[in-house]
């Protein structure tokens, strides 16, 4: 809408906001699964993460092409044919098929709380959490991201509880080395 209204500054602002939210939350959440370094992920789970990241990269490159045309064209050429500037504008429907907005919102909220617990303890984000409790209204949804949360948060054990709001509590951090 911002582009259609010739509001290029707003279009760039929204694209950048999406990019940083995406990288801070979703990319952090799935990179361990994509690389297969943490957790016990199957080849299918790893392939799913890689596919989702590639789809997201294709969308992000198209979003930024009007602002950084040469860099976007170079990145596009790494795995796509033709020019990014001849490709269609990314559409929400492309991502809706593979992503649950509710799941990503939940993961983002929990990652914020995990980072805050480490920051409040004045520990590195790489510090380990021995155990914690995650509470919320939808246990099945929370359990769907358990392995990714364990990997990115370096969490050994998670207990789930039913509650009205999503919260992280009873955090037991590993002693600092």
Which residues of the chain are modeled with pLDDT < 70? 37-39, 95-101, 177
Residues 107, 146: contact at Cβ < 8 Å?
Answer: no
Q: Are 107 and 149 in contact (CB under 8 A)?
A: yes
SS3 160: strand
C-alpha closest to that of 76 among 84, 64, 87:
84
Whole-model pTM?
Answer: 0.70
- Residue 99 pLDDT: 60
Residue 86 vs residues 38, 66, 81, 82, 118: alpha-carbon distances, Å: 39, 11, 10, 7, 45
pLDDT of residue 77: 95
Predicted local confidence at residue 69, as pLDDT: 95
Q: What is the pLDDT of residue 120?
A: 93
């Amino acid at each position: 809408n911002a582009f259609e209204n010739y509001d290029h500054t707003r279009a760039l602002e929204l694209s950048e906001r999406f990019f940083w939210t995406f990288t801070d939350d979703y990319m952090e959440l799935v990179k361990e699964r994509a690389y297969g370094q943490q957790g016990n992920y199957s080849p299918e789970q790893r392939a799913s993460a890689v596919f989702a990241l590639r789809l997201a990269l294709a969308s992000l490159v198209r979003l930024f092409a009007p602002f950084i045309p040469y860099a976007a064209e170079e990145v596009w050429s790494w795995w796509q044919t033709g020019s990014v500037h001849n490709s269609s504008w990314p559409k929400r429907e492309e991502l809706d098929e593979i992503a649950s907005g509710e799941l990503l919102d939940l993961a983002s909220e929990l990652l914020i709380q995990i980072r805050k617990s480490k920051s409040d303890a004045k520990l590195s984000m790489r510090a380990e959490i021995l155990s914690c409790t995650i509470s919320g209204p939808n246990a099945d949804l929370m359990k769907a991201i358990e392995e990714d949360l364990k990997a990115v948060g370096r969490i050994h054990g998670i207990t789930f509880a039913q509650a009205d709001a999503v919260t992280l509590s009873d955090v037991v951090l590993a002693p600092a080395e």
